[in-house]
Each structure stands twice: as structure tokens, then as C-alpha cells.
Structure 1
Amino acid sequence: MVTADVPYADDRSPAQRHAAAQARRQWPELAAFAGDYPFELDDFQVEACRILESGHGVLVCAPTGAGKTVVGEFAVHLALAEGAKCFYTTPIKALSNQKFNDLVAAHGAENVGLLTGDTVVNGEAPIVVMTTEVLRNMIYAGSSTLQGLRYVVMDEVHYLADRFRGAVWEEIIIELPQEVRVVSLSATVSNAEEFGDWLKSVRGSTEVVVSETRPVPLWQHMMIGGALLDLFEPDGDYVSKELLKKDARARERNEGRTGGRRRGGRPYVDRGRVVSRLDQAALLPAIYFIFSRAGCDAAVDECVRAGLRLTDGRERDEIVDYATAAVAHIDPADLEAVGFDRWLAGLAAGIAAHHAGLLPVFKEVVEKLFERGLLKAVFATETLALGINMPARSVVLERLIKYDGSDHVMLTPGQYTQLTGRAGRRGIDVEGHAVTVWAEDVRPKELAGLASKRTYPLNSSFAPSYNMAVNLIGAAGVERAQEVLASSFAQFQSDSEAVHIAEQARSLGRRAAEAAQAAECHLGDFLAYYDLTQQLSQAERGAQKRRKGALRDEARTNLEKLRGGDVIWISRGKRTGWAVFLRPTGGSRHHDPRWSVLTADGWAGTLETSAFDGGVQVVTRIRMPKRFDRRDPKSRSDLASSLREATRDRSRPTRRGGAAETPEIAQLREEVKAHPCRLCPDAGQHTVHASRWSRLKREGELLRRRSERREHSLARQFTAVREVLSEFGYLDGETVTSDGRLLRNLFVETDLLVAQCLRDGIWEGLDAASLAAIASTVIYESRFEEDEFFVAVPGSIVDPVAKTVRRWEAIRRAENTRGLSLISRPQMGLAWPIYRWTRGEELSKALAAADGPWPMPGGDFVRWARRTADLLHQMGTAARYIDTESSNKLADAAYDAVDAIRRGVVADV
């Protein structure tokens, strides 16, 4: 923070001295708390702390680095002063560990505890730092640790928008005892008042404090070539004229190089040159965002190969000593497997990458060295923008377009603000700098639009899950569970939007009536005539669709009869042509089975049934190698050559024809011909108005249905969840069964599937490594389409995996009939790596065992291994509830697997 000299008493006016004395009397605890700081608190911090000392809850929304945590620390101070308890919650374990260390330094180890699921330190202390999941579980269990709790700090509360974990925040806020004051700390959001209104509705007296002032001013730039240009004119209202001229010249040069052909906006960027230019301008240290793990690693290599050295001899020695000490507990062979020497070389030069593919200990070292000012440039993915304390003098954005999981899209203003928010170190930098590297697909005016907006709405992701349902019902009954859902921020937002939608629907109704009046015809009811023409078109399209569906069903039936080596024709899509059938594959998470083929040009992959709806006809067969590996280029080339030879003189099969006319279509066609409005000379003009009437009417009906669906939408979802739980025996009416008590201990997204497998005993009898392997299948999510590869699993779990998939299919059928989609299909890509690791093999062998075109990144493996260990621990606890000899042996195997997994790079140290 920016330090400020405390004025001497004789420097203040009598009025100032009187005001200060009055403030000390009115807020004595704040005066005592603020006296321990070497600087004056900002206005928003003072306001929030006064609200808290006055006995109210508070929501604080402020930019990154503004000092929101001071308010959380004041809650800690109040708890100690009152002889009460304060829980300080964070969304991730790393932040919990960081905050624990800070509070121990401030208040002593005897007063501070830590609870992160698998870590328990001084859990009955007056101040306990924990992850939000731990607090949620304590509330459900009615833990005695909650006694005497007066304050709960919810750091990074905007995480409740997270679609996987966000519900935890809302459950806590709703279910905490009313006497607990909640201190919610959030990044700046555009709907802070709406969120505050919801907090008031469920927590009682809660005030909102919003600060949009950055503690360090931020300057916006664009880098074109080696030129670092201001984005705005000095008055700040308009885009820089100089930048616009440079941008135009750069586009002319780029168009000349490419002959007028666009290059997708991705010209090569000399990252070493960018960093050197920032160094020359005294703008380091910098965080350089690249939305690609491979891009971050490549950037470090580019800079090191270019001879870029940003550290002096003393700094290099300090970096090497710190990094080698931090990894001293890891086996040298494991370090070699994850490229330790290459990583250390970059660190020594003052350069590093930071992304989820790195080992956690590597990321922690990067964070610590950056905080200490020893690293000058860190190439990072956007995950660094979430929660980790790594402010810099400058932030660089290489592109303003990122992949969102389905497409490449422009950053939103909120994302841009979050990324650039790290620029400017409070108490160190006079100003921060945001630098965007020029690219053809981004114009200065577009960048200015992003930089000038502060739109970052907070939207709830709350939805009932199976575990949530049995815990809520088990703890307080169905009626209270429904009250919790009705009290959620999700329902609060949904109800508010329903009112807005209903008003929109009424407005559309008025406009539709005006269009209907304009479509009036002297020959008859033109709207009725227009409806007939639309019914005819719809009937024709429906007949065509049904024809296609029948062809697709026929194709699937015929595809299921194929054998490896059958030669067929792909009738649709970019792979149209001859292909040899390899094998069927399982459906992906949300789609039907796919079919593995190799085409005449040597491409091997899977296709959906729709690629064959022109008909499936085996024209010949070719011999398949006994051990064909489609990932091997030579194997693909040889088989493709055989396919081309077998189809050399064959002509393309004839595709099926269109749909025949039905009696319904014939009848409608006659009615259209007989209608008097068909002969109206103004039919064209009437059709324009009738079309508008039809569109407005349709949109109004859709809005009304949306409004109806939003009202009590969570209650309907909860009813569907309860029906599924009842179908599988976890609820009996409004009572949680013994099986339901097992489910209460499973806090994973695939909770019901794990419960089914444990209850039915299909995982019993497995050794520790095999149990770990099969546990991984229900939590792992591949970064790639798994069915693009032949994913193998250890032989010991082949049969249990098949049974697990069958139980998932049963759950999916039950969900589909009720409009739910909560449980994901098991994925096998982690099974071999976790099996080998649990058996005690080296990291290099575990990583190499991953299915895919390359070894699994070390950081990914560690993250998934830890999640697997967490699940195994839950499984051990849940299996004890079954309490049979075989289930108790499974629990023992689960605990053994946890111990075997948590070693070396996976261990928490």
C-alpha cells in the first residue's frame, strides 16, 4: 500500500483534532486496529470497517490491489477483541495457506488455525483459515467448531459465479447462523447493489461499499513493432492520433507482405523484443499474458535462446539457491521428467512461465520469486488473474482473442479489466501500464472500447446437486431445503429477470397488434392465409427431417453390423469419400456413439452417424493388421494405400432421395391454393406485415414461456433431483435413507455415480492402485476429445469400468426423462498414469502412460492426482457407512491409495 506520513498533533487544526478524538470514541476498535498500520486507511476501508464495528455485515467491491483484505483483517481483530471466533475462507488451498501464514505472523501461532480438507492445524483456534468447502461441510455436519463463531470473511466471493464450485458460497451465506456477520470481499462488479440486496434479504443488515478507484493509476498502450504508443490522447477522451496513423501503416505493410490475404490476425510476435523494449522503458517487472500453455513455455525458450538476461549475478545466485531448495524433496528422476534444468535456466535469466501445466511447486517458486522482485518477466495464461498475489509494473496482452472452450472469441471488458488489474504495485509504482501487442485482428478503437468499460456482472451458478439435496434434506428436511433454494442468489436474479421478461413480452404484444392491423386485406383474413403458408412450409421441413432421421437410424443399424476392414462411403462432411471401418467407439459426454474410420488420404478419427446417413453399403473388405495403431503414421499410410487400391475402379454409391409428399402436405397445399387472399394484388406488402406479426407473436410467446420457467425454476430442478434420488433409493419420501447417508459424504460432481458404485460393491476387491485408477475415471476431464484415441485401462479394472459405465447410463436415462444433466460420463485418460504412480513407479513412466499424442504435463498430473486422492479419502469415509467386511476392505484400500499417491511431486509440503 502507499504509505502516508501520520501528521503530528500540532500540525492539525483544532477541528481536525476534535474530529479524530470523536472518531476514536465512536469506533474504538477501528482506532486501535488502524494504529498498528504504518499508513492511513483509505476512505473505503474506513467506511467498511466502521460498518462492521457498528454490528452490520458488509460487502466490499474494489479493484485488484486496492486493499480489500484490510477489512477482512479487521474482522479478525474484532473477533479477538470480543473473545469470539472468526473464520477466514478462501476459494483455493494456496490462498488459504498464504493467508494462514500472514495471520500467524500478525497474531501468533496459538491464535490461528488452518483447515483445508486434508490439512488440520489448530482447528479450534479463535481464528481459523479454511477453504469454503470445509466450512460448507461443517455447517451440514453441525460441527461443534461453529460454536462461538461471530465473523466469517468470504475472500474472493465473486467465485460464486464459478459453474463448478460457485454453489458452495451461496450455501454458506444462506445457512450460516443469523448472528454471524459476513464480510464479503469481491472484485469490482457492475451489479454490486443487486448482490448487496440479495445479501440483505438472506443475512439481514448488510451494507455495500464500492470503490472503483485504482490505488495506482493505469496507463494504456499498444506496441507496434518496437514502438510503445499511448492508447489515448493526453486528455483521455479520444484514441491517440499517432497510434491510428501507426496502425494504418502497419496494416498496409502487413497487407503487402501477404498479398492482400489475411493471416488470421496472428502474425509472429518477437516476445524477446517486446520484453527488451519494456526493459528499456523501465516497465519491468511484467506479466505477459498468452492464452496458451505451449505459448508460455515457448516464449521462455525464445527469450533464453535470444540471450535475454534480466538479472545480475547476485540475483541469479539467489534465484538458483531458492529454487533448488524448494524442490529438494523431489526425486531427481522426477525433476528430470518435468524439465527442471530448462525451467531453472529461465528462472536464472529472470524469466518464467506460469500455467496449470506446471508442477505446483514450480508455480509457487515463480510466485515467490516474482513477489521478491527477482523475476522480471512471467509469461502466463489467464488463470494467473484469479486469486494469486502477483502484482507487476506492467501487464502485456499478446492477443485480445482467446479460446472459450468452443470458439475463439474477443475478451470481454470484464476479462480485460481483470487481466490488466495486476499492473501497478501499490507502494512501489507511481503508475501501472497495460500494453497490448499489435495484431491485425484488433484495431485501436476496439482496444479503447475494452479499456474504457468496467462491465463485470456477477451471476450466480447455483443449482441443486444430489449431494446438496441429501445434505439439505438430512439436516433440516424438504421444506427447509426448498427455502434455501428459494433464498439463493440464483433465484433472486431469476425472479428479477422474470419481471423484466414479462414486460418485454407485453411490449412485443402491442407491436404485434399494430402489425396485424397493417396486414388487413379486403379479400379475407390475410393472417390466417399467412399461417396456412407457414404450416405448409413447416410440414414439408418436418417430412424431410423425419426422412433424414429414418436414414440416420438405418445407418446406425448398419454401422453396428460392420467389422474392422469393411470398406464404406462417407456421404457427408469434410471427410466425404472412401473409408475403411476400424471400430465403434463409446459416445462422448453428450452425444451418440461415434465410428472410427481411416480415409483414403490417411486421416484416422471418429465420425458421428450423420456422416453416413446417405446409406451404408459395404463394397469390399481389406485385410486389417493384427495390431493396427492409428497414432502411428506408417500404420495409417500402409492401410490408406490398401484402401486406395481396393477402391481404384469403384464409383461413388448413389445417395438416397428426398421425402415423399404426405396427405397432410397435400391437404395444406390445396387450402393455400383455395384461399381468396392468394389472389390479392397487395399480397407482397401484406406478407411483410404478416411476417412481422408472426415473428413478434412468436417472440412474445417465447418470452412468456421463459418468464414462466424462471419463476421457481430452482424448485422444479430440486423436484427433479429428488425424483432421481428416490428412483435409486437414496430418498424415501422426505427421508434420507441409509444409502443417502453414504451419498452425504461424497463431495464430487459425479457424487451419485460414485455412490452407486460403492453401494453396489462393483469396486470392492480392488487393490490400492486399481482402486485409484477407477476412481480417476469419475473425476478426470480430458483437455482433448477422448474418443479420438483408443483409451486403454489396466486389466484389473476392465470389468469394473464396464459396470461403472452401465451405472452412468442408468443415471443418464433417469436424468434425461427429467430434463437434468448433472453426472458426466467416466473418462479413462488418467487411469494408467494414476495406476502406475500409485504402484510407486517414477513420474516419467506415469506421465508417459497417458493416452494421447504426448505425455501428460506434470502440473496436470499433480492436480488430477490430488483430486483423485481427495475422492479416495471421501470413498473411504463413505464405505465405512456400508459397514460390511468387503466395504471395510475397500475403505482400507482407499486410504492406502491416498498414502501412495501423496508422495514426491504430489505431496503437499
Structure 2
Amino acid sequence: MTRLDDFTDRLTFRLDDFQRRACVALEGGHGVLVCAPTGAGKTIVGEFAVHLALAGGTKCFYTTPIKALSNQKYADLVAVHGAESVGLLTGDISINADAPVVVMTTEVVRNMIYARSRALQGLSHVVMDEVHFLADRFRGAVWEEVILHLEPSVRVVSLSATVSNAEEFGDWIQTVRGDTAVIVDEHRPVPLTQHMLVGGRMFDLFDPTTVVPAPGAERAGRSATAPGAERAGRSATAPGAERAGRSQVNPELKRYIRHRMLTIDDRDDRSSGRGRRGPATRGGRRGGGIRPPSRPDLVARLDREGLLPAIGFIFSRAGCDGALAQCLRSGLNLLTPEESMEVDAVVDRHVAELSPTDEDILGVGEWRAGLRRGFAAHHAGLLPTFRHAVEALFTRGLVKMVFATETLALGINMPARTVVLERLVKYNGEAHVDLTPGEYTQLTGRAGRRGIDVEGHAVVVWTPETVPEQVAGLAGARTFPLRSSFQPEYNMAVNLIGRLGLDGSRELLNRSFAQFQADRSVVGQAHRVEESRRRLRKLDVELTGAAANRGLEPGVVIDDVDEPGIEDPGDGDPHSGFLGYVQLREDIRRRERDLKFERRAANAQSTVADLAALKRGHVIGLQGGRHRGLAVVLEAATQSLDPKPLVLSEDAWCGRVGTRDFVNPPEVLGNMRLPKHVDRRTGRGRRDLASALRSTGIEAPRGRSKKRAPAADDRELARLRSALRAHPAHRLGNDDELFRLAERRNRVLREIVSAERVIAEKTSTLGVQFERIVGVLAELGYLDVGTDRSGAGRASVTKAGHLLSRIYSESDLLVTECIRAGVWDELAPNELAAVVAAMVFEARRESYSGADAMPGSVALRGALARTIEIWREVTATESRHHVDSTREPDTGFSVAVSLWASGRSLTESLAAAGERGQLLSPGDFVRWNRQVIDLLEQVRLGAGADTRLAGSARSAVSGIRRGVVAAELG
């Protein structure tokens, strides 16, 4: 019997074809990359790797991107293999770390590799769950580091969601890891039907007559429809609706939306006496009469049609909490009394370690009330134990409706029958952006429970901004490329150089997936360059003949291209011959453009300075935009980088003006006496001010001020124009065929130069960034850089560099500099926790408060002030080497963690953890405490066992690890 047979004998289901193929490859000694849709059962391949390691007496690491997923997988494996065989390491949790199977976050295994941990001995398999996470711009590099650094004997099991460039990713893994089987499966085991809810009606999104079944989709055994759903002419679920990219939008859906919108417009027009209005505009009122159902109505509708349990994705924590509150106010109840009693038992287990006071502060009563009626919210702001309870209840069918942020879509095992999307726009931390096809697929992938549902359902709630074709594009797209986010950082650089030396580090960077993708794209660019060169040679032949027919030499243009194509028979003058004449014209255009740019830049700089210098009462002239004429300054600009003084114009308009409002720098035309308190908020006040401005007698400038253009005095431009007029080709008309040929040639030349520039940038980006980081580290004493006897570059890690190699933080260099400078040595444990919190905390809003605003002891304020000074010194060094600046310390959580570490109550600590008057959520409070513990442990290890700093770090960890934080740390 094979080990796969032994493994499958324990299962209660048969393996799918892709699962079996992956397991066979794994048992055959190959690494595997498995790409399959969410819910397809990829993790069974990872579990088989665990089985192989245990059967062979070796070790297996099971890595995940987030701690919640690690905790869940740990529980799953313990249930199968027993607690003695499985361990858990997530930075702040260590359970049975020497077990043959250890579940951990990906950062932990990366750190083990760099530390040359003995735990790596006997390692035969590493499972990298959610490996597509390497595209994450903040943490993605860790996955590549692990793949590149693991010993060749280790079999890597990479599990990924469906990506369109799986073969490319597989080719890279085969290149760096050797023999790897790439197994791609696009079939969803539970088919997904797409719907759109318009007002009170539910429609299938796609036209049933055009839906193309997915390959291998099973047609038998599926129910015809979801109970009670209005199918708008469709009587059965088309198999393989998940392949909807080749289908058309349901015409009945489009007709219904158009009819309702026109009916509303006609009704409005009749009531107002107006004619029919124009087409709808994004964000306008059109469609306002088709109101989306309220959250309680939506849930009730799903319940009636048998579409619960469901997950409603709402892209904000406040939105999730608000939706839950709406349902609770409605009186809707989804559970029986018996089910509510089961909920109580589960909740009691999860809050057993909380004190009555903590329960009151954390709102356990309100949270329990929602669960007892089948509702819950799920987001990072909740206390983790609350989220775990919701997950457990949802899995048992005791929570019917969850309002969640998108974090739930990442790996957590909470499949539902239905997924609801209220909006297709989310905030990404910088701006509101549309969902990508990959994000849409990840979210809707939660719909359809394997072995329970015959089909899953994705419901998009229609709003006036939602276009059915847009939803169809998201649902049908199959382009989810995986893009590397790998780039060198300080900690990575010293660890790489310490292990591999300078040349070895460069070689490893060249083997990264980022460089692999860059090299592949360069191949395409190089092909385009070669095609352009062939076109250039052909054009040169045509030009030679055409020029000769007109009695002209073709000439040659000196450019950046290796093969200009025509050799100049003359003296090498770049402006000889016809092409020389064309080059003269290009040179003149370029010089005129440069002079115009210089003039604009000078004007802009002068405008900024003049706007910043304006004072209250100055009268200026407005030159552009909707407002012209006189304006008086009511408030000076508040900052100098982008000054925008507040002005009132003579037509009574009041607003701020900036550089874009001026063609030329503003000129002070006079002064106007203003009362101490100006009434600019009422129409009458503005009109009175405008009247007073007009009566000052100051005249606005007529038209734009005439300034002599720099081109008129430019000697180089004059020389080029003179040479152009004297050239033999100047006699030709501008419509001559020669000029058309020359323009085509210049266009091809520009394409070649542009493509070669792209090639140079893509092939050198990683290397340039690495060399800049090495420069920073060498200047600050972390690396000893020089040359060997042969003249080749070399670098070795100094004592300070070894300290940096043990600090894994976004602010790793700053933390290490502070340890080296000893600025934290004299701090008490709670004060050290406060300073370390400033290294990790990042407010969700702009709420930074500096060291001078930080309450606490003189020692703490002094340490924070010195930390800020060191940060400024570090960023100055980074600026000199053109490296992105280290993030500024943020003390927004420092008071809270200081109070908590010194033994103060949860009430006091939470009250001190506010952002702009809003309390920090309990979930965030625990999460930030976890991160502070992580960094404190690194500081303890880096400072040395017998130092005072290490003792303070140890005590600080003990002070933080209590109450709700201790409950979450296990």
C-alpha cells in the first residue's frame, strides 16, 4: 500500500483529480505548485505533505500568511494527529515548537532560515498556503525569501488561488527549486451562480442562452433553482456559470433597470413640467427611485429563498457594525430558541477568561444578543476571541448572516451558501478604487459549501452607480496575474550578505521572481526593438533613394541607436544631408520646448513664493479660471509648499487660490483695510466686501502681462535657426514626401530609444536598490565594504550588522540605531513598551502626536525626543543614498500600552488609545499589543541577555501579556 492509499483510507470523501495528481507528484519526491479556486480543496495536498513527513520520520512546516489562519490550521491538524505531534509558532505564541509538524506564519520560517535555527534539521516539507500572497506590497517578499533560501532537499508545497500566470510562476519555482509539478485546476467543485438584486427583484446576471459550461462541469444532481428566486425567464442553473466571461448580460435585467429608470424620470418630468432629461450620469440622481433594500429586508429575502447562511461583504468596519445594528433594531430573528441556547454555550466558552468588568467594557452583552438571533459582524476591530466565536458558530450553522470586511476572504474556513456585495468600490488606504477581478473572485469564492450546497450564489446589490456590464466583466474575467513585490530591505541585506557574501547576494536577487518577471518582459521588449530596427533600415533605404532624386545627400543623424543605418559620407557633421536638416528641425523644437518648460518652472516657483508672501488686505488680480479681476486676501496661506490664501473677488466669490489659478505670479496692486472680523460666510457679507473692494479705486490689470520670452534671447536657438535657413534642404516644401519619410523614421527611432530605456530600467531596478541599501548600511557601520586583492567588491557584516539581522520590523534600521545609541537603556518596562509602540504603531487616520505631546516621565519624553532625532539622522542618510525614508515614529498607541504594561485597567488603557477622539477598537488594541510584544522580544534578544535593556524588555512583555491580551496569546 502506498502512503497516498494510507492517507486516503482515512478520508470520508474521494480525492478530486487535481488533488490526486498533486499528491502522487509529492509522494514521488517532487515539489508541487497547486493553483485552484477558493474552496476547491487545495489544503488537502498540504495535509498529505504532513502525512508524508510523519510517516517518514521527518519534519514539516505548514506556513500561512496570517496568525488567524495559523491558529485554525493548528486546531485542524491537532484534531487529526494529536497535540503531541503538532506545534504552533506565530511570533507571540509558541506551543510544542519541537514537534515534527509545526504550523507558523511565513515570517517565522524566514527568521529561522536567517538565524540558522536547529529546528531546520530534518525538515523535508514546507507547505506555503496562500502563496499568491507574495504579491502583497508590504509582506510579499517574505515568501520569495523562503522559497529561495530553503535547502534543495526540502520539498515545497505551494498552494495558490487561481492566477492567470500560474505557468510563469511555476517556471520560476522550477528554476530556483528544481523538479516541481505545476497543477492548475479552474473547476469549482460547487458551481457559482451570479445574481443582481434590483430593488425587490433578483435576476440572474447572465443570459441563460449564452452561458458556456465549464470543462468537466457535472450536469446531474443539481437543483433547478434557488427556492423562490425570480429567474427572469431562466428555469435552470446553467452548469459552469462561473465561466461567465464568455456570456452576455441578461437582457431582462437590463430592460427592467432601463424601464424603471425611465418610468421614474417620466413621473418626475410630468410633476415638474419639464421635458425628458438626458442620460444617467455616474453618481447622479437617475435611478434613485429603485432603492436598494434595507439590510433587514435583504436578509429576510435571502432567508425566504433559502439562500442563508450568507456573508455580506462591506468594506468598512463601521459599515459592518452599522449593518448589524440595523438588523438588531428590526426585530428579525433567524434562530430557534434551542439554537439560541447552543449559541450561549459557545459564547460562554469564549468569554470564560474575561472578568465581568472587561465584559462590560467590551460589550459582550450586545455582541451576544446579535449572535442569539443569528447575526454577527466579522472584522479586525473585533476582539480576536469574538471573531473565533463567530467563526465557530458560523461553521455550525448557528450564525446565518455575517457582515464582514474583505479580510474574512483570506483563508479563514467560513464558506457560505451566498455572498452579497453591496458595493464594488473599496478604500485601499489612499483612495476609493474599484474592485479588481481577482478581488471579486476571492470574495465570491466563499459562496458554495462543498458537500452541502449544489450551487453557490453571488448577489450584487444594484445601485445607480452599478452597471451590469461592469459586474459581468468582474465575474467573467480570468486575468489575475501574480506580480512579485520583492525588493531588498535593510534586514534582508545584512542577512543575505552574512550568508552569501556580496556577489552571492546579488546572484540571489537575480534569481528572485521579480527579476524573473522583469527578464521575461525584457524578452518581449527586445523583440520589439529588433522589429523597430528592421523598419528603420527599410526606411533608410527609401530615404536614400528619395533624397538622391532631389539632388540631396541623405546624411546621418547621431542618436542613441547602435545601428543608425546610413553612414555619412561627409565630414561627420550631424546636420549635413537631408537627415541633418530634419535633425535641425528636431533640435529647434526640443530647444523651444526646453525654454518653455524653464519659463513655466520659473513662473511656478515665483508664483509659489509670491502666494506665500501675500498678507491680509493685499489686493491682487485674478488671471484665470472662472474668476477674473480684483481680489482681496482675507487669510494668508497657512503653509509654504503649496500656498493657498483665502481671497474674495470683486464678484463676491470667496475661496482659496493656488498656483493653478495664475498664469503669471500674482502682483500686489494695493492694500484694502479690512475689519477685524470679516463676514465672509453670508451672501450679504460677501457682497458688502466686494462692493468695498470695487470702491477702492484700484484697477485690475488689463489682459495678461506681456513678458519677453526667453527664446528671443537664446543664442543656441538663434544659431540653430540660422543653420536651418542656410541648409540646402530648406528650399523643399513641408509637404514633400521626404518629410513624411523622415517623420516616420524619427518615430521609429523614438520607439527604439524608449524600449531600450525600459529594458535598462527593468534589468537594473533590484540591483540599483540593493547597492543603495548597501551604501546606507556601510555609511552607518553595519557593513564593512571594500575590494579584495583582485579588485572585486566585497562586504562583511559588522557587530552592529549582526544586531540588525535580528530585528524584523518595518523600522528595523531605526530600532537598531536606537539600541546602539543606548537611548532606551534607562527606561522602565512600561516606558520601553511606550517607545517600542511608536516603532510599530501606524494610525488608521492622520493622528500622529510628537514626543513633546507625550505624557509621562522626563526619561520617557527624553527618550522619545532622542528617538525622533535619530530618525531624522537616518532619513537624512537615506536621502543621500536615494533610499525611501523610514516611517516616522507614531506615539498614538504609546500612552495606552504604557498604562496597560504598568498594570492599569482595560478601561483606562482603551480610553487612552483613541484616534481623533474615537476609541481604538478592542481588536486593534490586542493586535497592536501583539506587535509590541513581537518587537520587545527582538529587542531583548538583540540587546544581550545580561543588559538592563533586555531585562526591561522582558518585564514589559510580562506586563503586557495579561487579561484580554493573555487570553489571545494562549
TM-score for the superposition, normalised by structure 2: 0.79
Per the alignment, residue 10 of structure 1 pairs with: none
SS for the counterpart of 2:104 is: strand
Per the alignment, residue 501 of structure 1 pairs with: 525
For 1:486-497, list aligned pairs within 5 A.
Answer: 486-497=510-521
Correspondence 1:392 to 2:366: no
Per the alignment, residue 177 of structure 2 pairs with: 203
SS for the counterpart of 2:505 is: helix
Per the alignment, residue 602 of structure 2 pairs with: 547
Per the alignment, residue 251 of structure 1 pairs with: 261
Contact 2:829 2:952 in 1 (8 A): yes
Correspondence 1:864 to 2:928: yes
Correspondence 1:322 to 2:346: yes
* Unaligned ranges ≥5, structure 1: 1-23, 585-591, 626-635
Correspondence 1:264 to 2:276: no
Distance 1:112 1:278 in 2: 41
Contact 1:221 1:230 in 2 (8 A): yes
SS for the counterpart of 1:829 is: helix
Q: Which of 141, 150, 162 is 2:115 aligned to?
A: 141
Deviations, residues 201-239 of structure 1 (Å, cap 9, x unaligned): 111111111111111011111111111111123241332
Greater CA deviation, 574-583 or 301-310? 574-583
Correspondence 1:361 to 2:385: yes
Q: Which has the larger radius of gyration?
A: 2
Q: Which of 901, 905, 927 is 1:838 aligned to?
A: 901
Correspondence 1:777 to 2:838: yes
Correspondence 1:242 to 2:252: yes
Per the alignment, residue 470 of structure 1 pairs with: 494
Greater CA deviation, 289-298 or 181-190? 289-298
Distance 2:142 2:666 in 1: 50
Distance 1:569 1:98 in 2: 67
Distance 1:512 1:803 in 2: 61
Distance 1:131 1:721 in 2: 26
Indicate how the Cα distance of structure 1 residues 251 and 120 shifts in structure 2: closer, same or farther if over 3 A, else same.
same
Per the alignment, residue 127 of structure 2 pairs with: 153
Contact 1:265 1:439 in 2 (8 A): no
SS for the counterpart of 2:159 is: strand
Indicate how the Cα distance of structure 1 residues 331 and 659 shifts in structure 2: closer, same or farther if over 3 A, else same.
farther
Per the alignment, residue 305 of structure 1 pairs with: 329
SS for the counterpart of 1:329 is: coil
Per the alignment, residue 791 of structure 2 pairs with: none
Indicate how the Cα distance of structure 1 residues 136 and 788 shifts in structure 2: closer, same or farther if over 3 A, else same.
closer
Deviation at 1:74, TM superposition (A): 1.0
Contact 1:354 1:379 in 2 (8 A): yes
Contact 1:812 1:823 in 2 (8 A): yes
Distance 1:140 1:744 in 2: 8
Contact 1:594 1:608 in 2 (8 A): yes
Deviation at 1:421, TM superposition (A): 0.6
Contact 1:156 1:185 in 2 (8 A): yes
Distance 2:625 2:877 in 1: 33
Aligned residues: 856
Distance 1:262 1:845 in 2: 48
Contact 2:49 2:125 in 1 (8 A): yes
Per the alignment, residue 6 of structure 1 pairs with: none
Partner AA of 1:327 in structure 2: V
Deviation at 1:794, TM superposition (A): 2.9
Partner AA of 2:254 in structure 1: L
Distance 2:673 2:796 in 1: 59
Contact 1:772 1:868 in 2 (8 A): yes
Correspondence 1:761 to 2:822: yes
Indicate how the Cα distance of structure 1 residues 573 and 503 shifts in structure 2: closer, same or farther if over 3 A, else same.
farther
Distance 1:606 1:845 in 2: 41
For 1:611-630, list aligned pairs within 5 A.
Answer: 614=665
Deviations, residues 699-718 of structure 1 (Å, cap 9, x unaligned): 43222112122225323322
SS for the counterpart of 2:259 is: helix
Distance 2:537 2:705 in 1: 45
Deviations, residues 501-534 of structure 1 (Å, cap 9, x unaligned): 2223334455667788999897955632541442
Partner AA of 1:746 in structure 2: I
Per the alignment, residue 376 of structure 1 pairs with: 400
Partner AA of 2:916 in structure 1: G
Q: Which of 796, 799, 805 is 1:744 aligned to?
A: 805
* Unaligned ranges ≥5, structure 2: 212-246, 270-276, 553-577, 650-654, 786-794
Contact 1:595 1:606 in 2 (8 A): no
Partner AA of 2:956 in structure 1: A
Indicate how the Cα distance of structure 1 residues 611 and 132 shifts in structure 2: closer, same or farther if over 3 A, else same.
farther
Distance 1:858 1:708 in 2: 49
Q: Which of 879, 884, 893 is 1:816 aligned to?
A: 879
Q: Which of 931, 935, 939 is 1:875 aligned to?
A: 939
Deviations, residues 404-460 of structure 1 (Å, cap 9, x unaligned): 344433322211111111100001111101111112233222222221222211111
SS for the counterpart of 1:439 is: coil
Partner AA of 1:781 in structure 2: E
Correspondence 1:174 to 2:235: no
Distance 1:329 1:242 in 2: 55
Contact 2:198 2:292 in 1 (8 A): no
Distance 2:362 2:313 in 1: 22
Deviation at 1:647, TM superposition (A): 13
Deviations, residues 771-804 of structure 1 (Å, cap 9, x unaligned): 3232222322232344799994335554444433
Indicate how the Cα distance of structure 1 residues 723 and 84 shifts in structure 2: closer, same or farther if over 3 A, else same.
same
Indicate how the Cα distance of structure 1 residues 580 and 488 shifts in structure 2: closer, same or farther if over 3 A, else same.
same
Deviation at 1:495, TM superposition (A): 1.1
Indicate how the Cα distance of structure 1 residues 790 and 484 shifts in structure 2: closer, same or farther if over 3 A, else same.
closer
Contact 1:58 1:182 in 2 (8 A): yes
Deviation at 1:174, TM superposition (A): 1.4
Correspondence 1:702 to 2:754: yes
- Over the aligned positions, Cα root-mean-square deviation in angstroms equals 4.2
SS for the counterpart of 1:485 is: helix
Greater CA deviation, 173-182 or 249-258? 249-258
Per the alignment, residue 473 of structure 2 pairs with: 449
Partner AA of 1:722 in structure 2: V
Contact 2:36 2:160 in 1 (8 A): yes
Deviations, residues 276-331 of structure 1 (Å, cap 9, x unaligned): 22111111111111222222222112222222222222222322342344234334
Distance 2:721 2:658 in 1: 36
Correspondence 1:105 to 2:64: no
For 1:330-729, list aligned pairs within 5 A.
Answer: 330-509=354-533, 525=579, 527-548=582-603, 550-551=605-606, 554=609, 578=633, 580=635, 614=665, 661=710, 662-663=713-714, 664=716, 681-683=733-735, 694=746, 696-729=748-781
Distance 1:738 1:528 in 2: 58
Distance 1:537 1:452 in 2: 49
Per the alignment, residue 232 of structure 2 pairs with: none
Contact 2:19 2:44 in 1 (8 A): yes
Deviation at 1:598, TM superposition (A): 8.7
Partner AA of 1:730 in structure 2: Y
Greater CA deviation, 770-779 or 95-104? 770-779
Q: Which of 34, 37, 42 is 1:60 aligned to?
A: 34
Per the alignment, residue 13 of structure 1 pairs with: none
Deviations, residues 364-414 of structure 1 (Å, cap 9, x unaligned): 222221111111111122221112111000111112222334443332221
Indicate how the Cα distance of structure 1 residues 279 and 819 shifts in structure 2: closer, same or farther if over 3 A, else same.
same
Distance 1:763 1:344 in 2: 43
Distance 1:552 1:835 in 2: 48
Partner AA of 2:292 in structure 1: V
Distance 2:494 2:626 in 1: 48
Contact 1:316 1:348 in 2 (8 A): yes
Distance 1:537 1:149 in 2: 67
SS for the counterpart of 1:821 is: coil
Distance 1:622 1:905 in 2: 59
SS for the counterpart of 1:873 is: helix
Deviation at 1:865, TM superposition (A): 2.7
Indicate how the Cα distance of structure 1 residues 45 and 269 shifts in structure 2: closer, same or farther if over 3 A, else same.
same
Partner AA of 1:889 in structure 2: R
Per the alignment, residue 191 of structure 1 pairs with: 165
Partner AA of 1:538 in structure 2: R
Indicate how the Cα distance of structure 1 residues 280 and 693 shifts in structure 2: closer, same or farther if over 3 A, else same.
farther
